[in-house]
């Protein structure tokens, strides 16, 4: 049988480094090594019991066994609107300004296909979630890198983007609190983004997957809470990280009504929505936010404290301890590249991390640790790094 070649658009994608990392980890496990996995951004704790029980009950409702509506279950959208009002002071119409997604990745990946044409520019933060760039390429648009650098607080330098690029821009992706750097965006930055978007007429897509994973100081700012933001953009929201629900695949888009409607209309040609029973359980999660989320965030705070103490003992103090997300962004040591550092940690200490290069060229020289294992194991990881001479 003659192998079928991939479509040409696949050739534009950068190498998927996570495949190589999985191979290396699997080989180490096969050798019998005790691996401490600080690589994957997937919560290790179970989904809170009230959410699971709500799913069990909802799954027995025959009315939920049929196709869901395109926009999503009304109860879920109402719960999302209530969550926004309580947690972020944003009043949204659940009928027109909120729609259910199959996880926020669903909305992020489909926005360029719905709104960008060949020749349009999509502004992509880097280091950043690889889907921003790949979705722009799939749409035939031109990704334009916005470097996130420590000297600027891991915020894009909006003044460094030429007016000629702004004039062709259709979408700007942002993500705060940020993966992988754990940076927060101040309100003044979002205000400057709104001003640029209104002036040049582009769409702001704020990836808010970690908006509520906060545990030190003030909570993170919702982009939609900034005056004028709802006229220029939308926020992609996820229950995955906030409620330990990554496998459930549920999120929602919120914000400017025509963009919400347009994305939903596009998706109607591709998928059939989220199982209504999952949406019913998601509504319970959002309605019980104050009961469920603080304990989850406290767990991450304890883990970050364990890592901070361990890194201080190693003399690794030239990094910012995160206020939120469950990531720590560290510079490599000894002149190693991010991939060399990753291999050294795996081979010498049996620790899995993610090289900065996995998040784009601007991530070179860094690596990411995820606090998705116990504080005890994180402390052990620091001890292993010390013993390995790293």
- List, in order of start, the domains of the chain with CATH numbers: 9-38+291-387 (3.90.1150.10), 49-288 (3.40.640.10)
Q: Could you give the residue ranges of the DSSP H alpha helices within the chain? A: 17-30, 49-59, 74-88, 104-115, 130-138, 163-168, 187-200, 229-232, 257-267, 276-287, 289-314, 338-349, 375-387
Rounded Cα distance, 293 and 3, in Å: 49
Rounded Cα distance, 161 and 202, in Å: 14
Rounded Cα distance, 256 and 267, in Å: 17
User: Taking Cα atoms as reference points, which of 286, 278, 280 lies closest to residue 254?
Assistant: 286
Question: What is the predicted pLDDT for the residue at 1?
Answer: 58
Kindly list the strands in the beta sheet with 121-126, ordered across the sheet, starting from the edge strand earlier in the chain. 98-101, 251-255, 233-238, 203-207, 169-174, 121-126, 142-147
Question: What is the predicted pLDDT for the residue at 48?
Answer: 98
Place of tokens 């294992």: 373
Question: What is the predicted pLDDT for the residue at 3?
Answer: 62
What 8-state DSSP symbol labels residue 355?
Answer: E
Is 281 in a helix, a strand, or coil? Answer: helix
Predicted confidence (pLDDT) per residue in 117-165, tens digit: 999 999 999 999 999 999 999 999 999 999 999 999 999 999 999 999 9
Question: What is the predicted pLDDT for the residue at 194?
Answer: 98
Residue 285 token pair = 């999660």
Is 87 in a helix, a strand, or coil? Answer: helix
Residue 175 token pair = 């993500």
Question: What is the predicted pLDDT for the residue at 2?
Answer: 57
Rounded Cα distance, 156 and 152, in Å: 8
Burial class (CB in 10 A: 0-12, 13-18, 19+), 342: buried
Q: Do the beta carbons of residue 68 and residue 202 sit within 8 Å?
A: no
Predicted confidence (pLDDT) per residue in 277-298, tens digit: 999 999 999 999 999 999 999 9
Query: Which residues are registered as beta bridge partners of 236?
Result: 207, 253
Predicted confidence (pLDDT) per residue in 171-216, tens digit: 999 999 999 999 999 999 999 999 999 999 999 999 999 999 999 7
Question: What is the predicted pLDDT for the residue at 19?
Answer: 75
Rounded Cα distance, 84 and 41, in Å: 24
Question: What is the predicted pLDDT for the residue at 330?
Answer: 94
Tell me the backbone φ, ψ of residue 262, rounded to 5 degrees.
-65, -45
pLDDT tens-place values along the chain, 390 residues long? 556 777 888 777 776 777 777 788 888 888 888 999 999 889 999 999 999 999 999 999 999 999 999 999 999 999 999 999 999 999 999 999 999 999 999 999 999 999 999 999 999 999 999 999 999 999 999 999 999 999 999 999 999 999 999 999 999 999 999 999 999 999 999 999 999 999 999 999 999 999 999 997 779 999 999 999 999 999 999 999 999 999 999 999 999 999 999 999 999 999 999 999 999 999 999 999 999 999 999 999 999 999 989 988 888 877 778 999 999 999 998 899 999 999 999 999 999 999 999 999 999 999 999 999 999 999 999 999 999 888
Question: What is the predicted pLDDT for the residue at 5?
Answer: 75
Query: Judging by DSSP bridges, how do beta strands 203-207 and 251-255 pair with one another?
Result: unpaired
Rounded Cα distance, 20 and 173, in Å: 27
User: Taking Cα atoms as reference points, which of 141, 168, 169, 173 lies closest to residue 156?
Assistant: 173
What 8-state DSSP symbol labels residue 94?
Answer: T
Question: What is the predicted pLDDT for the residue at 313?
Answer: 87
Residue 58 token pair = 């909802």
pTM summary value: 0.95
């Amino acid at each position: 049988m003659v192998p079928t070649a991939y479509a040409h658009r696949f050739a534009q994608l950068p190498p998927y480094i996570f495949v190589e990392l999985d191979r290396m980890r699997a080989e180490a496990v096969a050798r019998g090594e005790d691996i401490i996995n600080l690589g994957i951004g997937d919560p290790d704790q179970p989904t809170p019991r009230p959410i699971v029980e709500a799913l069990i009950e909802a799954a027995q409702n025959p009315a939920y066994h049929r196709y869901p509506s395109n926009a999503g279950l009304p109860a879920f959208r109402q719960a999302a609107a209530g969550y926004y009002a309580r947690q972020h002071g944003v009043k949204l119409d659940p009928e027109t300004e909120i729609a259910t997604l199959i996880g926020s990745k669903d909305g992020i990946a489909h926005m360029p296909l719905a709104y960008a044409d060949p020749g349009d520019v999509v502004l992509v933060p880097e280091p950043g979630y690889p889907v921003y760039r790949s979705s722009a390429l799939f749409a035939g648009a031109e990704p334009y890198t916005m470097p996130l650098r420590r000297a600027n607080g891991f915020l894009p330098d909006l003044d460094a983007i030429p007016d000629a690029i702004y004039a062709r821009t259709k979408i700007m992706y942002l993500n705060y609190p940020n993966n992988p750097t754990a940076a927060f965006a101040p309100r003044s930055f979002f205000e400057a983004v709104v001003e640029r978007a209104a002036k040049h007429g582009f769409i702001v897509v704020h990836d808010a997957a970690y908006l509520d994973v906060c545990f030190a100081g003030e909570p993170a700012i919702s982009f939609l809470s900034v005056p004028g933001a709802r006229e220029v953009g939308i926020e992609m929201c996820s229950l995955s990280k906030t409620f330990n629900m990554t496998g459930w695949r549920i999120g929602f888009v919120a914000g400017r009504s025509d963009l919400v409607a347009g994305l939903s209309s596009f998706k109607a040609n591709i998928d059939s929505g989220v199982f209504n029973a999952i949406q019913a359980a998601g509504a319970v999660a959002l309605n019980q936010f104050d009961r469920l989320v603080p304990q989850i965030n406290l767990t991450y705070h304890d883990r970050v404290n364990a890592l901070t103490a361990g890194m201080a003992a190693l003399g690794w103090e030239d990094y910012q301890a995160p206020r939120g997300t469950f990531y720590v962004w560290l510079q490599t040591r000894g002149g190693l590249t991010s991939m060399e550092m990753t291999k050294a940690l795996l081979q010498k200490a049996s620790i899995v991390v993610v090289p900065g290069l996995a998040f784009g060229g601007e991530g070179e020289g860094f690596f990411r640790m995820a606090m998705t294992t116990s504080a005890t194991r994180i402390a052990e990881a620091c001890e292993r790094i010390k013993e390995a001479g790293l």
